Structures are given as structure tokens and as C-alpha cells.
Chain A
Amino acid sequence: MKGKSIDVAVIGAGPAGLAAAIKAREAGAGNVTIIERAEAPGGLLFQCIHNGFGLQRFNEDLTGPEYAHRFIEKARDLGVNLLLSSMVLDIEADREMVVANSRDGLMSFQPKAIVLAMGCRERSRQSLFIPGTRPAGIFTAGTAQRYVNVEGYMPGKKFVILGSGDVGMIMARRLTLEGAEVKAVVEVLPYVGGLIRNEVQCIYDFDIPLMCSHTVISVHGQERVESVTVAKVDKNWQPIPGTEWDIGCDTLLLSVGIVPENELSLKAGVALDPFIGGPVVNENMETSVPGIFAGGNVVHVHDLVDNVSEEAEGAGLHAAEYATGKMRASESKITLRAGPNIRYIIPHSISGESDVTLFMRVKEPADKVRLSVGNIYSKALRAVRPSEMLKVKLTGDELARLDRSANELTVSCEQKR
């Protein structure tokens, strides 16, 4: 079946997709359609029933579903089409999309522009090489979150959580509130992987044992998890012999990282950043394939949904411009380079001609640093951590200082002397 004509197709109805679609409508795109695999919009927020969403954007402390709801309402009001329970299977040349659902069967659309907003997935045990048996009772923290918050089931009663990412810490609290026992949160790094806010509100406030510089070195139990062996690690994350001990538990939760979900992007021929796993984007959030834009966790993993919305709005705006032929031919010819203690920067390149927001992460925690972008921006910061994304707005003043002939700008975060 050949579908009707779409100006901007958005893949995914998480916060990124919703924000992109809204912006695209506001910017004048006629038919904006979100295609979402799940039966309801909201993406990951649907299962995030805790608060802490929207502090930046709305100056309010909302739960995930509440935050999503505001966008869902607005999208409806603006006449954004929502194609739910529908999976995008493929994106071919010339942006031809193949979509399947139970109601309409197989469909194909050829939108004028596409926004990729497929979100991310959690890393599994396999990517960690945790040896031992393979019993039931090993879940990623997000899967457990879905079971507890959406399906209404407890995947276990006694937990060890490996990794102190935000999802892991939030689940440590949730499970405790649900009456389960969280025996330990085990983190290989000397510091927690998630936000300080979550470390305080989810771990310390609930007296959950946190073991940094430790890891799980083996899993035991034939049918269901019975225990895990934990050991202290050295500077190179190698277990120190003689420090092992067993912790009895029936479930091991993993919160060991989230990776952008880009199988579809690869099919579309979009170039990915091998380090981050998301598409290479310019300041318009346009990927290497003209007319295909991207925003949210599909590009890089965010810790605050407010930033997801902001970034995706950029993708939606420029997708609308592209679809309506209004896109200014601006060349993003200045590449952003990650200098000392910078892990990555999004976007990958800028034009230097329009205002732009840079999102970035540091490699290691540091105190009293100076964050600088070439010689056009510089700011002193008290403390930085890999878990907390840094945001830099470059506007008229900074851009005026830009050397027009330069094709590279280095971002760095160095200790102040």
C-alpha cells in the first residue's frame, strides 16, 4: 500500500519525537506524522513514574508521564498525526519508509523529511563479559522498571544492582519502596555513574549499600540466580585477588550503560559516530543523509529529558524547513574537536553563522575547571562529572569572535592553575 504524502515523518513518539513533531508543525510543515511502535506515545517516560522531570523547562517537578502528557496534548492540538502500534522496518534510498502494523499491513511512505527519534537501548550482560552460569533472574534495570511500574510484577525479591547509572539508582529506590531488598549497588568506577541528585535521593536517603571500585565477577545458580561474587577492582578495573565474596540474591540488575538505537539509521545510510553510536549531525541536527534529521537519545544519551526536548526541537524545526523548501543553505564547515577531558560534543560541526547550543560530556570528574570553546567562549566551573551533560550556548557575541577561515574549533575542560 502506498501511503499519503507526508511532509515530516518522525520515528518514535518519545519526548524527542513529540518535541520534534510539535516544532515541525509550528514551523509550518503541513502533514507531520509520528510513527511509534508502542501502543501509546511517551517512549521511555511512560515507565518513569518518579519525579524530577521538567525542572529546567517548566520550572516544575513532574513525573515522566506528566511531562510526556504536556507534549502529547500539544501535539494533538496542533494536528500532529500519530500512527501507533506501527514499526518502521526500513528506510530506503530517497527516504522511502517501510512501515508495518496489524491494521494496515505493510505500508510505504515517502516523506519530504524524516526525524530519527528512536531512543536508545540498555547494554546487556553479554557486552560486559560477566562469566558464570546463565540462570533466570538477570535483567537490565530498564526492563525491571517496566515490569514493576507498567506490568505490575516484581522480577525479584533480593537484588544486587551492577552499575550506578541513573536507571539503576532509580530502580534501587523503587524496589526498596516496593518492599524488596537491595543488597548492594556495585560500581566499577570510583564514583557513581549517574547524577548526584540520584545518588543522594535514591541511594543515601534509603541507606542502600553502595560499593564503588567493585564489580560482579561471577553469577551463580542453575535455574534462578542464587548469588553473585563481588570483588574490589584496581585502577585498571581488574578484580583484586583475595577481595572476593558472595552476596546471596535472586536477581541481578544491570545498569551498565545505554547505547543509541541506530539499526534503522544504518539502513538509511546515515553515518554514525563510532564512539557515541549515534548519527553524525551538523548544527541543524541534520545527518549525513540530506533530509534526514535526528534528535534525543538516538543521537547521544541524555540525562535530562528537558535537554532531549530542546535538542529535538532543533531537528523538528530544520526538518520542517527542509520539507517546505525554506532551509537556508548554511554550510556547517567548522568541525568541533574534543580537546582535553572532553568525551564528545554534539553537534559534530557548526556554520558559525547562527546561534547554536552545544551539548557535551567530560571524560572524568574534575574540580575548578575552565570550559572553553576555541578562543570564543570560556567559563569557569566549580565541578564537572561525566554523568552531567554540559551545555554551551554560542550566540552573536561569541560567534563574532570566530575566525572565519578556521575549519576547526577545539573544546576543552582544563583544570585551572
Chain B
Amino acid sequence: METQVLIIGGGAAGCMMARELSRYKVDVTLVEKRPDVGFGVSKASNGYLYWGMSWNVSIVLKSIVEQIGGATKEAEHKKEEMNRRGYELWKPLLTELDIPHLWTPVMQLATNPAELRLLDMLEKETVARNMPYRRLNKEEILELEPNVTDKVIAGLYDDSHGWYNVYPWEQVIAVAENARQNGIKFMLDTEVIGFSKNGGFQIVETTRGPIKTEFVINATGADAVHVARLADACDFSLQHFKAHTIITDKKTRNLVNGSVAILAGPGRLKSVNPVQSGNLLISSIYTPTDSPHDLGTDKALMEELFGMAQDVLPPLSKKDVIAYFAVSRVYSARNPDEYIIEFAPKNPRFINMVLRMPGFIPMPVIARNVVGMLSDHGLQMTKKDDFNPYRKRIPRFADLSSEERSKLIKQDPRYGHVVCRCETVTEGEIVEAIRRGANTVDGVKFRTRAGMGRCQAGFCGPRVVEIIARELNIKPTEVTKNGGNSWELLCESKELLTTRKAVLA
């Protein structure tokens, strides 16, 4: 196989890069080791597109991340600029790519003198960055958010800039679908395992055979060091921080009108955020880790995190928790503020692209910059005349009006068959998700929300497996949760009895 640009990694970085390159007459291939795009870190991120008053995490994170050392004003300035422009570029993108999103105001609170000091720091920073905000007293806070703790003493509020919440994976999938529409080749279930050189070309060894390419973009996130080393193209190292997240039932949605948070101290942000789906998302505790692929959750941290959310919003009850998970963020060990976007020192045709937090927001800017870098290094960049920036989402039955629902069922009766009762997801949506590339239970779940509700697939699980098997013409025992050996079912009923009989006989 041959291509001009090979992107390794189908996360937020790789997919946005692919879409940007799909504007040009260049042959581009993206390889992803998992069975679907966005299943790395991107899937488990919070999904905020915001660059206003409080890119609040930076303050509490700084306290721990800066222990890494090496922060410079220059990197910070660059980060600020990329995110500021990225935020603006995302607004039209949300429309072009038909990505569902929720806009909410943002509120930062303090309940004691220590938190007040952090709040004052944030205010100073906000003024320096020239971002819109208002300072609120207790009464004003409780008027806007009547359910927050009555221990509040002061707050900052931004309802002019505000933040967009998207499902992080939906964002990645939308970008990837549009890139594919515009001619980018996606090879899923394809892992890069080695490199060699052949004249002016690089040969990238994958689990599906070698790929000959002019340029390589290493967008493998937490695996970036490993992959860069395979190509002898690594002069950086990464630090990993684990973050726990909790999701609560939709019935908690009305407890807040916008995002509400308390800056609590090093590595601790007490933050409760309405998300696009109508649930609340609770974050964040950051703890350093050496094993970024260990996604295990920790009971004590989860309990602490939930307690933190209750400090902000006392009416929250543990009974409302419907999901929780943990995932790692990466930071450059050279300089915690930097995004690593550069050619490898010994290989002028190999770009390392490692995103720190936030990663989604600046990506439209980074992708443009990388097009410039490729062109500077001799790749001919001619714009296509027929680039189509638009992509349409899968219709979401639950969100439609009665007339729209009736129309949809008339067009395709499968939209009249509700499969997931908690989220009201129909067979029509599931079949469409599979048509667009979902081939696992998680692939369907993340495209349609089937199984994401309060019963967590207890009811629709077997039905989704059945539909995937039917549509892909495979056996139910061949269906996985998310690739590899994550089988949903291990064998047919009675099979164990026949094998046991055979052993006995």
C-alpha cells in the first residue's frame, strides 16, 4: 500500500488533521489500532469547547503540573493564542458538521478564605486576559443557581462567552465522517508496529501489512513516545495524570442552570456541569500515574470526587450516579504548557503531534499549522474544488418533534422500533450507526446512546448485539464490546455441556 501522508492515531488530533488535509489534493491514510475512531483518550474527555474567563482547570492543574518544571511565558502565550482562535473556529464547525451541542454560562465559586484566594487569582488572570466576566455576591449567586451550597461567599460569572459542551466522541466521529466523505482512507483495527526507510520513502509496518508513505504524522496520544521510538523519532517524554469522572442521571439536570465549580486547591476542581445529553458531569481530581493505559477507577478517589460535587451542589445523591470512569491526560515533560507539534529531530518527514489539555479546542488551528509545515517541507498542497465541509448527524429520535418522528417512521419503519428504552433509541438509528462504521457494542453506544442510560444496557444489550450480528452478518459470539478480546458472549448455550460430555467420554 502507498500513500502520501500517513496519520497514525484516530483520536481528536488525527481525525481533525485528516479532515483538514481532505481539503487538498493529497493522498492521505489514517490508521487506528482500535476498531473505531475516538476510542482512545478522546472518548473519555469532558467535551468542553471553551476559552473564556475560566479555563479554570489550568489554575488548579498548574499547581501540580508545574511541578514538572520548565513552564515558559512563551509556551503559555502560544497556548493562549491557539485556544483563543480555536474557540472561534469551532463555532462554524459545530454547524458544518452538525454536532449537537449545549451552550451554558459558567460560574466559579468560593466558600471559604482559601478558595477565595484562588478565585481572586482567577479574577486577576481573567482581567489580564481581557475576558468577559462579572463578580457576584452570595445573593446574586443563589438567585442564578438556587441549588448550590449556601456556604458560598463570592463568585465569578460568564454568560456572554459561555461554553459549548459536545459529546467528545461524537465530535471525533463527526470530523472523521466528514474526512472520509472527502476521500481520506481510514484503516481501523490496524496497529503500527515498526518502521523502516527506503530511499525518500518511509515504510510503516502495521498489523495489516506495510504502508509506504512520504510523510508520517504521529497522533497517538498517550502512546506517542512508544510510536515515535519505533521510528527513532523521539526527543520528548510525557507525564500522565489520571482523571476520574462521574455522570449522574438526567433527572439531576435541573439542579443547575449552567456550569458551576469551586477551585479547591492543587489538583482538585469541584465542578458540576450540565452536558449535552441532559446529564450532569462531575469532575475532576488529578493524580499522577505511570500507566496511562490503566483505566481502573479508584474507590476512594471516586468517593472523594462525589463528595466534592456535593460540596458544590448538596442535593446530589449517590443514587443518581449512572456511570463513572477514569482516563489519563498527557503533558510534555519538557514544558507542561506546550503542545508538541514538530518534526522529529532526525527525520524531517515525521511530525509528532501530542496534545495537552485542552486538546479539542486548539485542534482546528493546529491542523492548519501542520498543513503549512507539510507544504514548507515540499508536499504539494493544491485545494480541491469539491471539498464538502458539511456532514449530517444520525437522526436522534428522542429529540425530534411528533411530526418529524412520524415522517421518519414512514420513511423507514425501523425508526418506530424503540430498542433502548432509557434513551429512546430506535432500531433505525442503530442500523444507521452500523452503516456509518460502528462494528462494536461501544461503537453503537457512542453513536446512538443506546445503553448509556440509567439501566446501562441491561435491557437493550442483547438486542444491540443481535442487530450488530445481523447487519454485519456475523455470529453474536463474534460481537465485541470494543474490539480485541472484549467478547460480549463466550459460546452458545449447551456448548459447554457437549464439550464436557466429550471430556467425560
Contacts and interface: CB of A to CB of B under 8 A. Distances in A.
Given A126-B321, A153-B492, A178-B494, A102 B414 contact: yes
A330 interface: no
A244 to B, nearest CB: 12
A220 B295 CA distance: 10
B417 A129 contact: no
A121 interface: yes
B456 A125 contact: yes
Nearest to A153: B489
A126 B375 CA distance: 49
A218 B326 CA distance: 14
Interface stretch (A140-148, A182-190, A353-361, A388-396): A140-148
A143 B484 CA distance: 23
Contacts of A140: 458
B185 interface: no
Interface in A1-27: 1
Given A100-B418, A180-B496, A106 B405 contact: yes
B477 interface: yes
Given A121-B455, A129-B302, A129-B321, A250 B490 contact: yes
A163 to B, nearest CB: 14
A146 B462 contact: yes
B321 A157 contact: no
A105 B299 contact: no
A136 B417 contact: no
Given A98-B402, A179-B496, A217-B299, A103 B413 contact: yes
Contacts of A251: 490
Interface string A82-107: 00010101000000001011111110
Nearest to A175: B496
B466 A151 contact: yes
Given A125-B456, A127-B319, A139-B461, A153 B299 contact: no
A135 interface: yes
Given A129-B303, A131-B296, A153 B486 contact: no
B57 interface: no
Contacts of B485: 223-224
A132 interface: yes
Contacts of B476: 151, 153
Contacts of B410: 105
B458 A133 contact: no
Interface SS majority for chain B? mixed
Interface string B371-415: 000000000000000000000000000000010011001100111
B73 interface: no
A101 B324 contact: no
Contacts of B459: 121, 143
Contacts of A100: 405, 409, 416, 418
Contacts of A81: none
Contacts of A266: 251
Interface string A147-160: 11011111111000
Given A106-B409, A129-B318, A136 B418 contact: no
A128 B396 CA distance: 30
A89 B421 CA distance: 9
Given A122-B458, A129-B318, A132-B297, A153 B491 contact: yes
B439 interface: no
A154 B424 contact: no
Contact of A148 (B295, B402, B457, B493): B493
A135 B486 contact: yes
Contact of B458 (A104, A142, A263): A142
Contacts of B402: 98, 106
Interface of A is mostly: mixed
Contact of A157 (B299, B458, B462, B491): B491
Interface string A115-127: 0000001101111
A122 B460 CA distance: 12
Contacts of B483: 223
B36 to A, nearest CB: 14
Contact of A154 (B415, B417, B480, B490): B490
A302 interface: no
Contacts, number: 152
B324 A154 contact: no
A131 B487 contact: no
Contacts of A326: none
A180 B297 CA distance: 29
B255 interface: no
Interface in B151-206: none
Given A151-B462, A179-B497, A179-B500, A126 B323 contact: yes
Contacts of B458: 121-122, 124, 139-140, 142-143
Given A126-B456, A136-B481, A178 B409 contact: no
B455 A178 contact: no
Contacts of B322: 124, 126-127
Quick one: which of B294, B318, B461 has the most chain A CB within 10 A? B461
Contacts of B462: 143, 146-147, 150-151
B61 interface: no
Nearest to A158: B490
Contacts of A139: 458, 461
A137 B487 CA distance: 8
Nearest to A142: B458
Contacts of B405: 100, 105-106
Nearest to A85: B417
B493 A154 contact: yes
Contacts of A131: 296-299, 302
Contact of B489 (A105, A106, A133, A147): A147
Contacts of B232: none
Given A126-B324, A127-B321, A139-B461, A103 B490 contact: no
Nearest to A104: B416
A218 B301 CA distance: 14
Contacts of B414: 102
A171 to B, nearest CB: 13
B367 to A, nearest CB: 31
Contact of B495 (A89, A136, A142, A154): A154
B58 to A, nearest CB: 28
A134 interface: yes
A99 B111 CA distance: 48
Contacts of B477: 153
B488 interface: yes
A152 B488 contact: no
Nearest to B459: A121
A214 interface: no
Contacts of B441: 136
- For B476, B491, B499, the residue with the greatest tally of chain A CB atoms inside 10 Å of its CB is B491
A137 B421 CA distance: 22
Nearest to B418: A87
Contacts of A103: 413, 416
B409 to A, nearest CB: 4
Contacts of B299: 129, 131, 217-218
A37 B251 CA distance: 23
Contacts of B321: 126-127, 129
15 contacts: A102-B409, A105-B406, A121-B458, A121-B459, A126-B324, A127-B319, A131-B296, A132-B296, A147-B462, A152-B493, A153-B476, A155-B488, A155-B490, A220-B296, A222-B295
Interface of B: 251, 293-299, 302-303, 318-319, 321-325, 402, 405-406, 409-410, 413-418, 421-422, 424, 441, 454-459, 461-462, 466, 476-477, 480-497, 499-500
Given A105-B416, A127-B319, A143-B458, 4 more contacts: A131-B297, A139-B458, A178-B496, A179-B499
Interface of A: 1, 37, 85, 87, 89, 98, 100-106, 121-122, 124-127, 129, 131-137, 139-140, 142-143, 146-148, 150-157, 178-180, 217-218, 220, 222-224, 250-251, 263, 266
The 9 closest A-B pairs by CB, nearest first: A179-B496, A136-B481, A102-B416, A102-B413, A124-B456, A136-B486, A131-B299, A223-B486, A105-B409
